[in-house]
Structure 1
Amino acid sequence: MQKALLFINGVPPKKLPDTNGYSVIACSDGAFHYLTSKGFPLDQLDFISGDFDSHSGSDEMLYAEKFIYTPDQDKTDFYKSLEILNEKGIKEVDVYGGSGGEMDHFLGNLHTAFMFKNELKITFFDEYSKYFFAPKKIVLSDVEGLLVSLIPFPITSNVITQGLNWELSGEELSITSRIGSRNFALQDTVEITYGDGDLVVFVGRESYR
């Protein structure tokens, strides 16, 4: 499966991820700045997407051939980067820099991922967790002791879990009434199924218990 690594302009990761195994590596023009400051090997980038209104330095011009100019102000840089990846036939995208800082930015990125959930398997990574829109049935592996939160988007019916400390057995989750946050895995694998709606799953990066 064609898989991409994408950096966008949220809070940058403290440690840059391993780039092995990705067929495409890209960033938004805002993320280009923090990749430069962290010593990321910029020759690994396949493209840099944005309106480039903050780019003028000579170092940046060395990589001008990698710039894809996307000036449409009705779309975010994240959205436009996903459009490019989708056009390239990518099916799976790991995203860094999608959360932290201004929370409207984070929610906007989550909304953008929702818009592409039928075309792309998008997983966000930050310092605390990874999170993604889950399919109707999913098995999480290697999660014993990790935080697992289930957030409806906005309503999710018939949620059934196996392997969590507080199990769900057909309940409805709703952003206006009940959500499934701050649970944790009791075993190495956790099974989650649900009916109608959409569900965002957060999996912590360190042991919760």
Structure 2
Amino acid sequence: MDAVIVANAPFRFWPEAVGWARQAGLLLAADGGANHLANVGVRPHFVVGDLDSVTPEVRAWVGEERVVPRPDQDHTDLEKTLLFALEQGASRVLILAATGGRLDHALENLGLLGRYGERLACEIREEKTRIVPVFSQASFAVPVGSTVSLMPLGHCARVWLSGLAWPLAGEPLSLLSRTSLSNRAVEPEVHVKVEGGVLLAFLPC
């Protein structure tokens, strides 16, 4: 099952994203993400979280039968919603409204891709960027000349990159030393391989 999760960062829907929400096999709002969906008139299948951000009016519009209280403070509302998606049998998740607003929230949400990306295919989408975790190897079709960034979640022992202006051949990447920020595609397909870590691929869309 494919799921779409709308988180609670500052967010404005664009037409394609509204279409994803309407067509989702499972549409989930992480707490105040329901407010974003209400703004475009798309009712989520469920609202999950500690429910301190969804407005009373939107909660009533969604309906109490679709509200899933998860009050614990050991997980963020987005993580609770990812766990709920797994419980419902989701195999792929597209996450919206995860990167705007507070930087600490955005970093936590990016980290969730590394935490759950081996259990289900997940990515974060912005209007012009998709963010995908790479655990071993992956290939991505991209326009020649477009900007591609590969950012390690922590430390990656060995990384291979091809199809880019600045390739790598088994070299380490780390946020504390070297990354592959603002690389440039020189071929229509970019190949990424990583050993001993997780990379986040920031790709044009």
Extract unaligned runs of 5+ from structure 2: none
Aligned to 2:42: 41
Distance 2:149 2:97 in 1: 20
Answer yes or no: is the 8 Å Cα contact 2:135–2:197 preserved in 1: no
Residue aligned with 1:160, SS: strand
Read off the aligned partner of 1:120 and give its amino acid letter.
Answer: L
Q: Shift in Å at residue 142 of structure 1? A: 3.5
Return structure 1 stretches of 4+ with deviation > 4 angstroms. Answer: none
Aligned to 2:146: 146
Q: Shift in Å at residue 112 of structure 1? A: 2.5
Distance 1:145 1:165 in 2: 9
Read off the aligned partner of 1:157 and give its amino acid letter.
Answer: A
- Which shows bigger deviation, 10-19 or 69-78? 10-19
Residue aligned with 2:154, SS: strand
Q: Shift in Å at residue 58 of structure 1? A: 4.4
Distance 2:145 2:103 in 1: 27
Identity %: 26
Rate the CA distance shift 1:55–1:127 in 2: closer, same or farther, 3 A.
closer
Q: Which one has the bigger helix percentage?
A: 2
- Pairwise mapping of residues 69-80 of structure 1 onto structure 2 (< 5 A)? 69-80=69-80
Read off the aligned partner of 1:24 and give its amino acid letter.
Answer: L
Aligned to 1:8: 7
Q: Shift in Å at residue 21 of structure 1? A: 5.5
Answer yes or no: is the 8 Å Cα contact 1:13–1:126 preserved in 2: no
Residues 1:191 and 2:186 are matched in the alignment: no
Aligned to 1:176: 176
Q: Shift in Å at residue 81 of structure 1? A: 0.2
Answer yes or no: is the 8 Å Cα contact 1:13–1:127 preserved in 2: no
Deviations for 1:108-144, whole angstroms, at most 9, x for unmatched residues? 1122232212212210011341112113110101332
Deviations for 1:59-99, whole angstroms, at most 9, x for unmatched residues? 53132221111111221100100110111111111000010
Extract unaligned runs of 5+ from structure 1: none
Q: Shift in Å at residue 202 of structure 1? A: 0.6
Distance 1:128 1:188 in 2: 18
Q: Shift in Å at residue 55 of structure 1? A: 4.6
Q: Shift in Å at residue 156 of structure 1? A: 1.2
TM-score relative to the length of structure 2: 0.90
Aligned to 1:130: 130
- How many residues are paired up? 201
Aligned to 1:27: 29
Read off the aligned partner of 1:40 and give its amino acid letter.
Answer: G
Residue aligned with 1:197, SS: coil
Residue aligned with 1:194, SS: strand
- Which shows bigger deviation, 142-151 or 99-108? 142-151
TM-score relative to the length of structure 1: 0.88
